[in-house]
Each structure stands twice: as C-alpha cells, then as structure tokens.
Structure 1
C-alpha cells in the first residue's frame, strides 16, 4: 500500500481549537494506516513550538508560516476572482513541496483537510483523493452577509458565492467528500448543481473522554471560591459566531439572570479575544480570561456551560467537551446540530433569549436534576462519541483495508 499526503490549512498541533482538534485526530489515524507526508501552515509561535511532534508522526513535512495579510489576500482575490480564504492560504513553496513529494514518494492517497488547501491537488494526480470540508463554508459566509452591513455584507456575499463554486469543484475532484455531520452533508448536496457527480459521507467529530474526565480535574480556584452561579463559554474568541454568542450572553441573557442571581458570573474562556470582548472584562458579572493553559478547570467549575450560538456549522467541540466533563450544558439548536443527544436528558436546548434565560433559571433551581443530566451527558459521549469509533471508517474511505475493529460505513451518496 502506498503513502498518504495530508494537506491542512492549519498545523494539527497542538489540538487546541475546533478545526485543529479534528485534523489532529484524523492525522493520527491516517499515520496508523501508512506513512504520511504533511503540508500545512502555522499561524503562531506556539504552532512552531510543536513542530517536533509533527516531525515524530510524519514521514516528511512542510510547515510554513502563514504571513500573508488579509488585505493582501483580499487584493489578490479581487484581481484573480478567487475567494479571499483561498488566496490567503496560497504559497508557491507549498505547491513546490507537494510536487516534489509526489515525485519522491509512492503516494497513493491525498487527504485534504479544509477547502482552502484543495488548490494544491495536482490535476495530474491519478491516485485517490479524499477531501474533508468539515462544513459548508459558503453557507456560513452567506449567513454573515445577511447579518452584516455594507461593505462587509458585499465582501461576505462575494466570498460565499465563490466558495460555493470551489466546494462543488472539490466535490467532483474527490473520490469522497467528508462532512462533520449529516446535516452539513445534506446542506452541501442541496446546493450542488450536479449532485450526481459528488460522493459524500458524514464523518463526525469525536471527543477524548480520557482527557476530558472530571475525575481527574479540580475546578479553577476562582470559580470554586465564587458564590456563583458560574456560567462558562469556551472557544476561539476572534471567530465571528463565538463573538456573537458571547455578546449575546453579556448583553441579552446575563442581566436578567443576575436579576434573580446577583452573584452570577459569566466566564469567557478562549484564545485571541477581540477588543470588543476584552473591554467588557470587569463589567458586572463578566470575566474575560482569554487564552488559558487548560480549559478543563473552568468547565469543572461551571454550574452551567453555555453555547448560545446563532450561527454554527458542524459539530461543536465545545459542547462535547463540556458534556464529557459532566457539566450541565445549555445551548441553542444551532450548537446542538450533529450531536444525537436528547434535549432534557443529555443537555438543554432553547432558541430565543427568553427561552434561554428561563431554561437557565430552571436548571439552577432544579439542582440535582441538572447534575443528573450532566452525568447522562458524559455517559452519552463515552458510549457514542469517542474518536476511535468516529474514525473507524477512515481506512476504507482512504482506500486501505478496513481494520477488524472498523464499523461499516453507511451507504455513501454518490452518482
């Protein structure tokens, strides 16, 4: 069996944000099938500090710093009629490395993680191609355009339109296109001009239930000392849907919750918070922590973990992590997408601001019932959402003999 070429828009180490968590576990699983050659971009010094881990796993690798500014990427995109998110991840050095790797090694399968790096698939490559789009980025930008104001709305509408074409081309170029949930797969197929030319399947995210285990984690000291209740939201805090959800809590949910519980505190935990969020630190009941070494103590100290996203694509790792930590989770229907847990049994789902406020107050009042739901949440993810189970079909999808432990894949949508 031949080698695998793995291309990703972000360095899969460390697995400290949603897309990197998925690419990290995919890469580890692929390295168990065959020698893997990895081409990817690093955004931060911390990414490069983990290059030794990538070198230990990969047979060869090319890690490039993504230094192109979004302004430059935008100018290039306008000049070439390409999506900004595609030009932002183009580097001729990576294109040259891909070409040389294919000459030097017996690559059987190219695995592309995220549509931004689909541009590096050579037209001449005759082997198997697997593309993991994760979710439908074009639909996300269309949603941004509807919510935004000109000129940002025009930029996002353009991006959504051009990405839609890129996504369809990648679906036709690949032997199979992966998505993080059945809902994202169905959305992608509903948008195709020629759906019969694309083979697709949902390959869900998993969760490391040994790492996210409340048995081995003490609540953060500040949360433990608080008179509470403590509400926690985690995520990459320069990501628009997370910013929107955090502001929703601060402006629309927290004031009414604090009317009933004056000591209630909202803890915002996640890397790269934008100034719109950091300036809110110190507002009544608001703590903005920014990047922390370990999110688990904050989850362990939460009375309720919130995920009130109004725009969400795919499976939310933040939700799975909170469930694995056996904490009561209150989320929007958008954030619950792709998780087959049951409202009221494993987590609590509410849509409007009023419904979220009422549900939060009820969960606090119920006490033991909410904790029972949290225990059921952990049991659910342990039994149904482990990475090994989620990635069992990967060998077959990539053209390698399935392991004896692999579970059968569902029938793929195809021509």
Structure 2
C-alpha cells in the first residue's frame, strides 16, 4: 500500500489532548502515521512545551508557527473596535487573528504535488485554504457553525446579548460555508452534521467518514457499586456551551435533586473557569476544580456524570469518556447527536429540568440501574468508538477520493491527446 503524504493544519498544538479539537487531531495523526507520512503545521497562541513537541515527533514532522491573539476587552470601545474590524472584510476578528503571513508563505512554498497528497484543515485553519492547491483539500467540521449558532442564540438571555452574538454568528457561518464549498471533501463527524452541511449548499461535498473516539486503554473500565457522592461535569470551562450547561444544572436542576438528597455535591471539573463559575463555590455543595491532571478520579469520586449541554454541537467527548470509564451518564437528547445510544440502556436522557432531576434521583437510588448502564455503556464505546477503526475508515475515504481524482485526471490527459 502506498503511503499517503498528509499535511495537517492544526489550530493550536494537539498535545496534550485535553480538549475536543486536540483529542480528535492527536488521535487522527497517531493512527494515520502508522501507514502514512504525516506533517503537522501548528498555529498556536503560545509555544508548546518542548516535551510535548517530542511526543508529536514520534508520529509526524512538526512545524510551529505563532499568532498574537488579542484578548477581547470588556470595555465598550474595544468591543466596538472588534466589531468594526470584523465587518471590514466580513470576517470575525478572532478568525482574522489566526491568519499568519509566515504560514501562508510556507504553504505557498511547500504545497507541491510531489510533496503532499492531502492537506487536512479544521476549525480556524480552514481560512488558509486556496482553490488552486494541488493536493486533496479536506476540511474537518467539528460542528456545523450555523447550526451551533442557532442553538447558542436560543439559550442567550436578553435582547442585548442576542444582538451582540448575531453579526458574529452570521459572519462566521458565511466564512466556513465558503471554506466547505472550496474543499474536495467536507468531513462531518455525525450523520446529522452531514445533512446540515448538504443543506447549506449543494456544492459542498459532505461525508460522515470520520467521527470521535475514545482512548479505551486510558479510560479503562472501573465501575464500582459504591454510593455516588455527587454529580460531575467535565469540560473546558472557558467554552460558552459548557458555561451555560453548568449554570443551567446548578440553577434549574440541582435544587430539585437536593430536595431528596441534600448532601450531594456538584463537581465542575475543567480548566479556565470564568468568574461566574467560580462564584458558585459560595455554595459549599459545589466544587470548582480548575485544571486537573486526571479527570478520571473526579468522575469516579462523584459516581455520576451529568451533561446538560443545551448549546454547541457534534459528538461530546465527555460522554464517550464517561461511558468508557463505566461512570453512568445523564444527558440531554441534543447531546447524543451521532451516537447510537438509547435512554435506559447505555445512559439516561432527559430534556426538561424536572425530568433530568428525576433521572438523577432514580440513578442515585438504584445501584442495579447504575451497574447496567455502566456495563452497556462500555460495550457501546468498545463496539463503535475505537480510534483505530475510526481513522482507518477515514483513511480509506481519502484513498478512494484520491484514486477517483487521479482517474479523472488521466481521462483528461487522454482526451487532450
């Protein structure tokens, strides 16, 4: 089998794999590298630790570039300036800041058909894509921006917040729609996302040839029948959908649970919690950890994982990790997009706050239910979300598309002759 020469443009350095984008990028590179030659081009806001660079060099060549991202100010003048910068060119300012002249120069000099067969991009790095690139252009959609915008817009409280979000949502959606139309392959991580991509424009070549997986060795099965101490939410706490999920659980669901179990705790586990999340610790039943080295211990200590996410999109790694670990999960129906799971079998699903609280009370009281959900959840991720199988399917799709393109090129040469 011929080794593909793959260039991966990554928004940030993918190691350690401690958020959703990094988890996907790191594992994709790790398993593609077993049969192919992979080169990583990373555009980061700060230089990665040299130890992390050496880890990635076990799998791929590494090229590092730096971007200076301005942290948005809370002042009205700064916000107005950001909006004006965004409207000039109809590109959100936070996307423009990832366009680095040195990266564009490197791509211009190195994207030779004899050097790379495939260029894969994701999130912000899609803005570097150009239609004349000789390699197969692949854009990986972690979620579909217009669909995510609709969900985030719906949960925003207050007209002013909605008006602030509106221009950025529309501009970001238009930018990424343009990128997807330019790509030879627009990858969707769920069947629903594939349908959403196709609905945006008939020219988009969408395919659900890739999804998210879980490291089954790291998240090895560790179920215990001990009584739960509380409920754990795990995630990057600077991510707006995670902030909304934590506030929603604390304000609308947790009080209903505590009427039955007043001693239960709520563990908020993840880096960069904003002030509004830290303020929850004024309630002694809430623990906000910040960044931790090992989320597994917090999930196991709590005993139940709660994922009441109302915004965002795509497959949530936090669900897969909890299922793999054997920690029973309660979530909402929108959070299981792309998962072949059923409420009452692998996890519990509840959308209304009262129903979510009832599911939590039921799970706390019923050890047999927790054991059954734990066992079936682990079997599900073993069956459907092993990274090696996922990446092999994606690689097969790349090879098939490259072969079709080369056949068309040969036909064109033959017709010209």
1-side partners of 2:376 and 2:93: how far apart?
43
Q: Deviations over 1:22-48 (max 9, x none)?
A: 111112233234322222223456666
Is 1:214 aligned to 2:221, yes or no? yes
Q: Is the 8 A contact 1:13 1:47 kept in 2?
A: no
Q: Deviations over 1:213-272 (max 9, x none)?
A: 134x999xxxx9xx8532111001011111111111211211221121121000110011
Is 1:177 aligned to 2:179, yes or no? no
Task: Call closer, same or farther: CA 1:32–1:26 in 2, change over 3 Å.
Answer: same
Partner SS state of residue 280, structure 1: helix
Q: Is the 8 A contact 1:233 1:267 kept in 2?
A: yes
**Residue of 171, 180, 189 corresponding to 1:162:** 171
Task: Call closer, same or farther: CA 1:218–1:63 in 2, change over 3 Å.
Answer: farther
**TM superposition shift of 1:17:** 0.8
2-side partners of 1:53 and 1:154: how far apart?
44
Unaligned runs of 5+ in 2: 73-77, 403-417
Task: Call closer, same or farther: CA 1:151–1:78 in 2, change over 3 Å.
Answer: farther
**Structure 1 stretches (4+) deviating beyond 6 angstroms?**
none
Length-normalised TM-score, structure 1? 0.87
Is 1:125 aligned to 2:133, yes or no? yes
Higher deviation after alignment, 272-281 or 77-86: 77-86
Q: Is the 8 A contact 2:209 2:397 kept in 1?
A: no
Partner SS state of residue 19, structure 1: helix
Q: Is the 8 A contact 1:136 1:187 kept in 2?
A: yes
Is 1:97 aligned to 2:106, yes or no? yes
- Structure 2 counterpart of 1:367: 367
Partner SS state of residue 268, structure 2: strand
Q: Is the 8 A contact 1:11 1:47 kept in 2?
A: no
Q: Is the 8 A contact 1:2 1:106 kept in 2?
A: no
Higher deviation after alignment, 321-330 or 198-207: 198-207
Unaligned runs of 5+ in 1: 403-415
1-side partners of 2:318 and 2:278: how far apart?
20
**TM superposition shift of 1:49:** 5.3
Q: Counterparts of 1:195-274 in structure 2 under 5 Å?
A: 195-215=202-222, 229-274=229-274
Q: Is the 8 A contact 1:308 1:331 kept in 2?
A: yes
Partner SS state of residue 117, structure 2: strand
Partner SS state of residue 52, structure 1: helix
**TM superposition shift of 1:151:** 4.5
Partner SS state of residue 302, structure 2: coil
- Structure 2 counterpart of 1:51: 53
**TM superposition shift of 1:105:** 6.4
Q: Is the 8 A contact 1:141 1:159 kept in 2?
A: no
Q: Deviations over 1:98-145 (max 9, x none)?
A: 22322596111111122x211212333122111101210232223333
- Structure 1 counterpart of 2:200: 191
- Structure 1 counterpart of 2:396: 396
- Structure 2 counterpart of 1:62: 64
2-side partners of 1:218 and 1:360: how far apart?
17
Q: Is the 8 A contact 1:18 1:317 kept in 2?
A: yes
Q: Is the 8 A contact 2:228 2:364 kept in 1?
A: no
**TM superposition shift of 1:73:** 6.0
How many residues end up aligned between the 2 structures?
Answer: 392
Q: Is the 8 A contact 1:265 1:286 kept in 2?
A: yes
1-side partners of 2:70 and 2:32: how far apart?
29
Task: Call closer, same or farther: CA 1:65–1:166 in 2, change over 3 Å.
Answer: closer
Is 1:36 aligned to 2:38, yes or no? yes
Q: Is the 8 A contact 1:144 1:153 kept in 2?
A: no
